[in-house]
Amino acid sequence: QVQLVESGGGSVQAGGSLRLSCAASGETICISAVGWYRQAPGKERELVASIVSSGGTYYTDSVKGRFTISRDNAKNTVYLQMNSLKPEDTAVYLCHAMGCPAKYWGQGTQVTVSS
């Protein structure tokens, strides 16, 4: 089993920054990639960014140039640095461990950006 715990959410004004953390524990050896998703009220969950074991990254178009995903293997933690935040970034952000036999999600952390 894998446990994922997100932290770092909060409320900021437009243009501000936040850094989210996703700490993994348990049988993390199965994880081949970690993705940050977000879900806003009334909208579908969307993949925001992901990082694979080789270090390759993916960003959805709306966050390119503003968000950076990174990882600290020693801490089993993946980060999402979010700069130049916009009100449309408001959502619950969740991390997802990929590659394991089962699907593992964190509990989510709320990000609220006010104009």
- pLDDT single digits (tens) 43-99: 999 999 999 999 999 999 999 999 999 999 999 999 999 999 999 999 999 999 999
Q: Can you tell me the mean pLDDT for 9-16?
A: 98
Pairing of strands 109-114, 10-13: parallel
pLDDT band at 13 (very low <50, low <70, confident <90, very high): very high
Q: Which pLDDT does position 11 carry in this prediction?
A: 98
Element containing residue 22 per DSSP (H, E): strand 18-26
The pLDDT value given to residue 59 = 98
**Does residue 76 contact residue 25 with C-beta atoms inside 8 Å?**
yes
Do 8 and 16 form a contact (C-beta atoms < 8 A)?
no
Phi, then psi, of 28 in degrees rounded to 5 = -70, -10
46, 22 Cβ separation under 8 angstroms: no
pLDDT at 38: 98
Q: List the structure tokens of 54.
A: 């080789």
**Neighbouring C-alpha atoms within 13 Å toward the C-beta of 105:** 11
